[in-house]
Structures are given as structure tokens and as C-alpha cells.
Amino acid sequence: MRLRILPSLLILALAGGVAVAQTFTRAIQLSQDTSGIFLVDSNRGLYLPAKLMFPTGGVGTPAPTITGTGTPTISGTDTAGTITMGSSATTATVLFGRAYGAAPNCVLSPQNAFTTTNIAYTIVTTSIAITQNSTSGNLINYFCTGTTS
């Protein structure tokens, strides 16, 4: 009888260890198939053979909004998009649909040449505040990365 109990306990212990190893809270399981939509190497490098897309809004995430002088408009997401400054506009504030956990790292780039001075902007967890000379219709691209709240 003892000879049967010891191997049975050993098998149960090993099976229990395997079950614990397969418990995931948030993850994706990767394979070695290189034809997938993205690749991850052994150093955790991420490779995207196609375009990087960010859906507008999404489940439970509202799209960003904009306020300011001259009725500016926005097209995009909290991550990336284009701001069209309004007529004779000097300010615009992009309000993120979902606040970042810390001030995000954002890059703003004008699509057209500004005649006298460039734009100035301030970034906080909830918004990007833009100031420019009184000019109409400037297009400004933005790209932000950071942690969500």
C-alpha cells in the first residue's frame, strides 16, 4: 500500500505545480509562429509588421474633446490625432477621454509652417493646452504615450 501512496502523492504534487504555472491574470500566450500579427523576441522586443492603430473611444473610453478660441476641432484618440485650430485662434485645450496616471509624453508637430512663432504647449494628466499666434486653421498632429489611471 505504501508503494502506491508515495508515487500517487508525487504525481499529484507535480500536477498541482503545473496547474499553478498555467494560472494567468492578464497575459497573452505567444507562440513561435512568425506569421502572426506581431512578434515578440526573447528580449521582450515587440515587432509590428503592419500599422499601429488606435481605435477611437473603445469600450468604456470616450474620445477626446477640445475647447478654445475660434472653435478648434479634433480628430483622433487620446494616443494620437490631429487638431485643427479655429479661426483667429490663439488657444486650444485637448481634454483626454480618459486621464493618464501621470503626465504623458506627447509630441506635437505642426503640419504647416507657422509664419512668426511656433506653438507652445503644456501637458498634464487630463489635457494638452496649446497657445499660438492669432492664426486660422493650423493643423497640429499629436502623439502621446504614458500610463493610464
**20 has pLDDT over 50:** no
Residue 26 lies in a domain: no
**22 has pLDDT over 50:** no
Domain tally for the chain? 1
pTM of the model: 0.67
Average pLDDT, the chain: 77
pLDDT in tens, 52-108: 666 665 566 789 999 999 899 999 999 999 999 988 888 999 999 999 999 999 999
Residue 55 lies in a domain: no
Residue 15 lies in a domain: no
Q: Which of 103, 94, 98, 100 is nearest to 60 (CA)?
A: 98
79: cell is: 494616443
